[in-house]
Amino acid sequence: MSPHLFSGSTLDAYTSGVWHASALLADRVKAVRQPYSGATVGDLQGQVDAVDLDRPLGDTGAALHEVARLYVDNAVWFHEPTYVAHLNCPVAIPALSAEVLISAINSSVDTWDQSATGTLIERRLIDWTAGRIGFGPGADGVFTSGGTQSNLQGLLLAREEALEGRSREANLARLRIFATTESHFSVSKSAGILGLAADAVVGVATDGTGRMDPDALVAAIEGVRRDGGLPMAVVATTGTTDLGRIDPVDVIGPICESQGIWLHVDAAYGCGLLVSPRRRHLLDGIERADSVTVDFHKSFYQPVSCSAIVVRRGETMRRIAVHADYLNPRTATVPNQVDKSLQTTRRFDALKLWMTLRTMGSEEIGTMFDTVVDRAAEVHAEIARDPDFEALAAPTLSTVLFRYRPDGMTVAECDELMPRLRQRLFYGGEAIVAGTVMGGHYWLKFTLLNPNTTMEHLANVLNLLRLTGRDLLGEKSGAAVMV
C-alpha cells in the first residue's frame, strides 16, 4: 500500500500535508509586502532546470520547502492591493475551502456515476446563473475551463445552428462572425479551430466610445449577404478587456432576432454585474442572447478555473452530444454532463461557487465588484487632474487606460517609454500594471478587481510610475522589453 495515496489508511499523512502547505502559505503571505519578488526569467530558469525530477525527495515537507523557494517566494500575488494589471482577482476564502474537498475527493463531473451530487450542484448553479441572466426555464449550460473555452463552445453551437439543413462542405467557408476590434482574441482563435475561412471574422465598427455600433452591424450583415456569405453569429461583449466597454445588447439582440443570427454575449469580465446591487441595468438585453460566457474566476472572486457557458435554449446543447456505450449511452436515465461539454474528464469547479454563495451570498460579491468600478472612476479623475499623466477615456467598468506623459514629451517619445516603464515597475516588484495598444499608441492600464485597493494604494502606484519614468528619461533608451 502506497503511503502517498489518499485513503482512509493515510489520513494522518493527508492532514499533515495539507496543514503544512497551509502553514507555509500563511507564513509567506504574512510576510508579503509587494506583488512580486522582482526575479527575472534568467534568475528562475536555472533553479527550475537544476531540479532532478528522477530523484524524488521522498518527503512532503522537503518537497514543500523546495516548492516554496522555486514558486511561492516568486509568485505574483493578486491579493496585494498594488497588483492592478490583469483580470486576476483575490479569491474568496469559502472557495478555497471547497478546493480542499475538490482535490481530495477528485470527482469528475462528466458522468453521474463519477460525481453523483456534484452533477446536481453544477446543474443547479447553471440554473441560478441562467435566472440571473434572465433566461427562462428551458435554459441550460455547463462549467468550462475559462472564457476562451466558453466562447469556443458558444460559436460551435452557432456554427451547428447555421449549418442545420445545409451542406457542410458547401457552406462552411461562407460562414461569418461579426465582432468588433475590442472583442476578445479567442473569437478569431475559435473561428480557426472551427474550420472557418481566414476572413470569417468580420469587423464591425464601434461608436466613439468603443461600443459596437448597431447601424454598422446591420450594414456589415447586409454586406456579407450581398457578397454571398452566410451570417453565423454576432459576438457582443459586456466588458471589453481594455476599455471595459459594454456593447448595447438591448439593441443588438433585436437585430439578431430579426436577421435570424445567433447572438453570443461574452460576459467573461462583466458577469459581476449580474449580482451588482447598483449596476445590473448595464446588462439590459442580455436575456436576448442565445449563449453567454460567464467567468466566475474574474468578477465573482473564484480561484481559477471557474467559468461557464449558458444557453437560452437548452436543446441547442444537444448538437454537440456524442455518446459512448461505456460512459454516457443514449439509453442513460441519469444526467451526464459530458453530453454538453467539450471536455470529458472535468473537475468539480462548481463547488467553489456553491460554497461562496452559501457563505457570502451574491449581494456581497456584487458589492465588491461595484466597489472596484467606483474606484476606477475615482482614479481616472485623479489621473486626469495630474499634469504628468494623460488619461484616455472615462471607464465603464474597472479598467483605466493612461500614460505618464510630462509636459514637453512627444507622442512618439511616450510610445517608446511606456513599455520600458511598465517593465521597470514589474521588476521593481512594488506594483504591477498592464500595458496595451489603443489607436496605434501604447497605454498603461489599471485593471481593478481587488476591493481592498484604496485610492492611497493607487496614488502610490502613480507616484512610483512618475519617479520611475523620471529615472528612465535620464537613462539611455532601447532596452529590450521582457513583459
Q: Give the closest residue to 266 by CA, choosing from 296, 318, 208, 309.
A: 309
Partners of 202 in the β-ladder: 178
How large is the average pLDDT for residues 78-84? 99
Tens digit of each residue's pLDDT (9 = 90 or more) over 30-62: 999 999 999 999 999 999 999 999 999 999 999
pLDDT, averaged across the chain: 97
pLDDT at 8: 97
pLDDT at 80: 98
pLDDT at 279: 98
Partners of 389 in the β-ladder: 404
Rounded to 10°, the helix 455-473/362-385 angle is 40
How far apart (Å, rounded) are the C-alpha atoms in residues 71 and 48? Answer: 9
How far apart (Å, rounded) are the C-alpha atoms in residues 222 and 42? Answer: 53
Tens digit of each residue's pLDDT (9 = 90 or more) over 142-163: 999 999 999 999 999 999 999 9
How far apart (Å, rounded) are the C-alpha atoms in residues 476 and 465? Answer: 18
pLDDT at 1: 82
Q: Domains of the chain (ranges plus CATH)?
A: 99-359 (3.40.640.10), 363-480 (3.90.1150.10)
Handedness of CA 309, 314, 316, 321 (dihedral sign): positive
pLDDT at 162: 96
Q: Residues 6 or more apart from 129 whose CB is under 8 A from it?
A: 141, 274, 294, 308, 310
How far apart (Å, rounded) are the C-alpha atoms in residues 5 and 10? Answer: 7
Buried b (16+ CB within 10 A) or exposed e, 63-94: ebeeebeeebebeebbebbbbbbbbbbbbbeb
- Are 398 and 448 contacting, i.e. CB atoms less than 8 angstroms apart? yes
pLDDT for 414 beyond 80:
yes
Tens digit of each residue's pLDDT (9 = 90 or more) over 185-226: 999 999 999 999 999 999 999 998 999 999 999 999 999 999
pLDDT for 481 beyond 60:
no
pLDDT for 307 beyond 70:
yes
How far apart (Å, rounded) are the C-alpha atoms in residues 328 and 85? Answer: 42
Tens digit of each residue's pLDDT (9 = 90 or more) over 381-403: 999 999 999 999 999 999 999 99
